Amino acid sequence: MRSCRGRLGWILLAALGILLVVAVVSLVVYLVLRQPRPPETAWLDPIAAVVPGEIASDLALYPLAGASELDTVDAAIATGDLETAYATLVFGLDMSDAQRIGHLILLGDQFALAEKPDRASLAYQQVYDLAVLSPSLNDPARADALMASGRGWAALGQKTKALEAYDQVSLIGEQSPYLQMANRRDLLANLETAYGALGEEERAEASRAEVVELDQQASSSPPAAPEVPELPGEETGVSSPEVGVLEENRRQAAYALIEALAQGGEPPAELVSGLAEALKAEDAAKLDLYSRELQGTTQSSKRIGVEQQWIRWLLLKYQVASQGFGLSLIPEWEAQLPEIQSDLSKHYEGLFFDYEDLVTALPEASLMQPGSYEVRRQVIENGRLGRYPNYPAQQLADKLQEAVGGLIDAGATEALYVDVRADDGGLDFFLSPAGDYGLSSESP
């Protein structure tokens, strides 16, 4: 009898233990579910999202050996090394905005096929930001990029983001004066299908009505886009024979390491050290050259070229310091990552001021306000792409709206302008018609 009572006691204790475990698990699940989830529209820093452990070093190092960034991205996507392609895209500066958009769309689609929806969404976020902010895109290219990001988000089940992109396409399709009628009709017809697939029948019907109205109109050629100033780029930069020699040394050291990595196994320490020393020698020479050049001129166009080269070099240091080539090359730079980010921010700020000085000194007064608008879009674009670490988003957004306000007051003919509103994920940039500009300070 005593044995039965003892067994019953153990059973009761075991049951109590199970109930306690169930209670703890239930509490944990409850607390997790109650945690605020990041909003679907939250912006994520593209460079901070690089995953070093998934980068194929033998491929990622190719640009250091002299290969083009575009060829490296293409090769990485073709071989399924998606994180290698991603890191090369976000750190690289050799691509035009149109080229970057095309490769980000392709990369996002490949991430989606690989069942990595978060990575796919991050690629589509950059496509959206480029489409809205880039001053180098025309409206047909802008609309196509926005449509692609919307389709990508829709395929991921992210309806809010998809609708945001589609609504921007709708705005361009209805209000941009720079579209051929056939292009406008195709956009609106595609939107009807896209809205319908998301169950947005009212939006789909509105697009259908626009198509019907277009079909009843006579064809006409769109007007020319308004003139904007041609701002200087890196072609006004500087180099020296010493820097040229050191760049070639680095290319040779990178190539030797790539060949060794292609054989498999751990990277040979002496080859890693050789590339590290080549990079450090190049760093010292370039920083000395750029510093002397900036101190020796007050000419805005020349300063802009030097600042852009300095930024390019600092982005490469940023990639090395964050192991964006898939391996540890220079531990000292890794320890200095915050300082490298701070230097990048300082030089982006200097670049912005030099561009502003250049714009205010333009010989044609009519180009000053469009130039200021273009500069502010470019700087914000770099911030959204992660190249300008900790960029002053709100301050630059205010300056952007100030520039657009000046354009509208002066009677500028642009139909759509970049606007900004605050939402749960920070700031959201979008296109807005002049009549509604600045009215959406917060998300609905």
210 and 338 share a domain?
no
247 and 390 share a domain?
yes
Q: Does the CA dihedral 196-141-168-146 come out positive or negative? A: positive
Cβ–Cβ < 8 Å for 103, 86: no
Whether 3 maps to a domain, the answer reads no
329 and 211 share a domain?
no
Whether 421 maps to a domain, the answer reads no
CA distances from 292 to 244, 297, 306, 309, 342 (A): 17, 9, 10, 13, 20
Whether 268 maps to a domain, the answer reads yes
Mean pLDDT by 10 residues, the chain (444 residues): 43 44 37 39 90 97 97 97 98 96 98 98 98 96 98 98 98 92 93 97 96 83 70 74 97 97 92 98 98 94 94 98 98 98 98 94 88 95 97 96 92 86 87 89 48
Whether 31 maps to a domain, the answer reads no
Count of domains for the chain: 2
Residue span of the structural domain in which 180 resides: 97-135+139-215
Whether 375 maps to a domain, the answer reads yes
* Domain-terminating residue out of 183, 215, 247: 215
The whole model's pTM is what? Answer: 0.88
Residue 228 DSSP one-character state: -
pLDDT of residue 238: 87
Cβ–Cβ < 8 Å for 303, 297: yes
* Domain-terminating residue out of 215, 243, 262: 215
Dihedral angle computed from the Cα positions of residues 290, 292, 298 and 303, in that order, rounded to the nearest 10 degrees? -10
330 and 372 share a domain?
yes
240 and 150 share a domain?
no
- What phi and psi values does residue 35 have, to the nearest 5 degrees? -65, 140
Whether 206 maps to a domain, the answer reads yes
275 and 199 share a domain?
no
Whether 275 maps to a domain, the answer reads yes
pLDDT of residue 215: 85
Q: Does the CA dihedral 321-250-53-44 come out positive or negative? A: positive
192 and 245 share a domain?
no
154 and 119 share a domain?
yes
| Interior/surface letters 230-257, b for 16+ CB within 10 angstroms, e for the rest | ebbeeebbbeeeebeebbebbbebbbbb
Residue 438, burial from CB neighbour count under 10 angstroms (0-12, 13-18, 19+): middle
Q: Cβ atoms within 10 A of the Cβ of 138, count?
A: 12
Q: Which CATH number is 179's domain given?
A: 1.25.40.10
Whether 373 maps to a domain, the answer reads yes
